[in-house]
Amino acid sequence: MIRFDIITIFPKIFDSYFKESLINKAIKKKLIKVEIHNLRDFTSDRRKTVDDRPFGGGFGMVMKIEPIYKAIKSIPKRKKRKVILFTPRGKKFTQKIAYQLSKLNQIIFICGRYEGVDERVAKYLADMELSIGDYDLMGGELPAMVVIEVVARLIPGVLGKKEFLRERTALTKGKKEKGFIEYPQYTRPAVFSPKKGVEWKVPKVLLSGDHKRIQEWRKKHQKIIE
């Protein structure tokens, strides 16, 4: 079972997300475990300060290293563990990285806020800096949900039938997971009529019952998400 630890100053952001849908089922089935750590619990002053002014001047505040260091130290350590710091300057998160992360026992996510995090966190505490895309968000909480959702989907049993994962996983020649296979899908009705005289039809081959031809059609239209 993989354990996700999230270090954040906004623990409540995660409340509904982890209480809904397949993620909640995966937690209940003990396929994944999620622990949320309020960074303010690791401060030592009365005001629970987690940020300070940047050295060298400039706008905004920077998250301090001490509470983050203490938060990480407080988390019980599992064998195959990685500490991930979210930053738009990090390595771009991809399906391929998700496959690698899904083999771990524990991932600690550090969710930045304000103008970012003291660089010594990246240098001394994090194993990896990740970005979920080339844009600047207000915090690392959404990235944590994105990464957890993508990684959790790869854990056998989370998506229901285990064969689903096998069918949708693209492999390299050496049989390593390299990407997720996606293709267009349709469901009933076979013909949808939004107004008189207009018909939006499902491709005929999908209604044919001919498994081989359906597979060929899907292969032709598929995209491998790497």
Ligand X SMILES: C[S@@+](CC[C@H](N)C(=O)[O-])C[C@H]1O[C@@H](n2cnc3c(N)ncnc32)[C@H](O)[C@@H]1O
Give residues in contact with ligand X (CB under 6 A): 86-89, 111-113, 115-117, 131-133, 135-140, 143
Minimum distance from CB of 129 to ligand X (Å)? 8
Minimum distance from CB of 60 to ligand X (Å)? 8
CB nearer to ligand X: pick between 7 and 27: 7
Minimum distance from CB of 201 to ligand X (Å)? 40
From CA 50, how far away is CA 69, in angstroms rounded? 12
DSSP-based helix, strand, coil % in the chain, nearest 5 = 35, 25, 40
| Two structure tokens written together for 154 | 């790869």
| Cβ-count burial 87-111 (b if 16+ within 10 Å, e if not) | bbebeebebebbbebbebebbbbbb
Residue of minimal Cβ distance to ligand X = 112
Contact 127, 133 (CB under 8 A): no
CB nearer to ligand X: pick between 112 and 179: 112
Minimum distance from CB of 2 to ligand X (Å)? 20
CB nearer to ligand X: pick between 138 and 224: 138
Q: Which amino acid type is present at position 119?
A: E
CA max distance for the chain? 71
Q: Which amino acid type is present at position 11?
A: P
Minimum distance from CB of 202 to ligand X (Å)? 37
Please, how many CA atoms are within 13 Å of residue 104, restricted to the half-sphere of its CB? 23
Minimum distance from CB of 75 to ligand X (Å)? 18
CB nearer to ligand X: pick between 145 and 154: 145
CB nearer to ligand X: pick between 18 and 86: 86
CB nearer to ligand X: pick between 45 and 136: 136
CB nearer to ligand X: pick between 89 and 220: 89
Which of 105, 88, 112 shows the shortest CA–CA distance to 39? 112
| Two structure tokens written together for 92 | 């771009």
Contact 78, 106 (CB under 8 A): yes
Minimum distance from CB of 63 to ligand X (Å)? 7
